[in-house]
Structure 1
Amino acid sequence: MPLPTDATHTTGEAGAPELLRRFTTAERWIHRTTALLMVIALITAAFLYLPALAELVGRRRLLVTVHEWAGITLPVPLLLGLLSRAFRADLGRLNRFGPHDRGWVRAALRGHHRPSGKFNAGQKLYAAVIAGAVLVMIGTGLIMWFPHLAPLIWRTGSTFVHDWLALLIGVLVAGHIWMAARDPEARRGLRTGHVSRTWARREHPLWEKEQRGE
């Protein structure tokens, strides 16, 4: 049986494509606020670490404060999202890596297309890496924020890990945005909550099949 999260089907005017409910309002706002905080953290990090950009602003203390609070509050939308049944259901999907996901990865490495569920293996791996990286960033960031609470070797190691992990996150987020820019239907799903059944059947056929109760 399909989950209540996705069970809403709508049909527009005559000739309009049938739409499937992909994300609830709560899920879309969780994504938007998390994305906003992530972008703020990355932009302020760039201005803090690149001298050419730092000179354009000058107010380093303000940048540091904004960066710190954007980073420390990054998990808040996700934690509040746990109140949503639909969001919890999608977290469960993201945390399950089945045989079809392994097949998807092998096919992707060869440049082929393989069926996926609501989230493909690439999206699952991205979510897992970003979640782990954010936790490490918060931990190392707190050590840098309160240096008097940790020995010098911890502060030195935290700075090294924080800087290089920030670069990795920046690359991953840029790749995520690039992939989204290539798929207007996926962006519509995050903007309106609905996608066409045709797109779902092509990109996420196992999920589309689930919506038909098969």
Structure 2
Amino acid sequence: MSNENGLVRYSGSDRANHWIVALLFVLAALSGLALFHPSMYFLVGLFGGGSWARILHPFIGVAMFVLFVGIMFKFWHHNVLNANDRKWLGQIGDVLNGHHEKLPEVGRYNGGQKLAFWVMVVSMLLLTVSGFAFWRPYFSHYVPVDVNRVAALVHAFSAWVLILTIIVHVYAAIWVQGTIGAMRTGIVSRAWARKHHPGWFKEVTGGK
């Protein structure tokens, strides 16, 4: 889809969902880190104290997961890895050096974006399931103590994986000029699409 300003990459609802999930992620990460280690306990001040951080953290996490599910169902079929994506990932050196002419044709998303998407999906699922297992006072008493302990470890590991993935995601968005603008306005230039996502460019323009 195109308009006089360029190509429409994201709708208004897509962008709103993305930014709300991003905000909830920051709140969940900060409150979770505050409860994870004493050295980061000072972060509870952002939530009104330790009790409020503990109370709010799981509710923020559930809200984040529910909204992320909307993103997952809408975009999962754009993120199925194919042979070109595997080749793209194998040529990560050319990606980092900007040798676009050596890379296989990229569709709506490149191999790195697709890989990050699925890491986020798995991490979100593990965080949600493990979080429910030791969520006091609502669900933890239904779960054996040993399972609670394993769930806490899975929760912490999944959180760190998700945080690192989001850091890479944000860095890549800054690195590829125009990406953040796409999520801010929903529009990308034809030149940007032709350079970074030629397969998608051909799909939405018929190659014109």
Q: Structure 2 length normalisation: TM-score?
A: 0.86
Mapped contact 2:34–2:41 kept (Cα < 8 A): yes
1:191–1:206 distance in 2 versus 1, CA, 3 Å: same
Structure 1 gap segments, 5+ residues each? 1-6, 12-18
CA distance in 1, matches of 2:15, 2:157: 30
CA distance in 1, matches of 2:161, 2:68: 21
1:104–1:56 distance in 2 versus 1, CA, 3 Å: closer
| Equivalent residue in structure 1 for 2:2, among 4, 8, 11 | 8
Q: Give the secondary structure class of the aligned counterpart of 2:7.
A: strand
Compute the displacement of 1:139 (Å).
0.6
CA distance in 1, matches of 2:110, 2:57: 32
1:100 lines up with 2:100 in the alignment: no
Give 1:4's aligned residue: none
Give 1:174's aligned residue: 167
Matches within 5 A, 1:1-214: 7-11=1-5, 19-55=6-42, 57=44, 59-80=49-70, 88=74, 90-94=75-79, 96-109=80-93, 111=95, 112-113=99-100, 114=103, 115-145=105-135, 146-214=139-207
Compute the displacement of 1:56 (Å).
5.7
Q: Give the secondary structure class of the aligned counterpart of 1:184.
A: coil
CA distance in 1, matches of 2:29, 2:134: 17
Counterpart code for 1:106: G
Compute the displacement of 1:176 (Å).
1.1
Computed over aligned residues only, the root mean square deviation of the Cα atoms, in angstroms, reads: 2.0
Q: Give the secondary structure class of the aligned counterpart of 1:20.
A: strand
1:56–1:204 distance in 2 versus 1, CA, 3 Å: closer
CA distance in 2, matches of 1:118, 1:191: 17
- The structure 1 segments of at least 4 consecutive aligned residues displaced by more than 4 Å after TM superposition are 79-82, 109-112
CA distance in 2, matches of 1:162, 1:77: 19
CA distance in 2, matches of 1:206, 1:43: 38
CA distance in 2, matches of 1:49, 1:27: 32
Mapped contact 2:31–2:43 kept (Cα < 8 A): no
- The percent of aligned pairs where both chains have the same amino acid is 29
Q: Which string of whole-angstrom CA distances, capped at 9 and with x for unpartnered residues, describes residues 39-75 of structure 1?
A: 1111111111231331464621111122111111122
Deviates more, 1:202-211 or 1:104-113: 104-113
Q: Which string of whole-angstrom CA distances, capped at 9 and with x for unpartnered residues, describes residues 132-155 of structure 1?
A: 111111111001102211111101
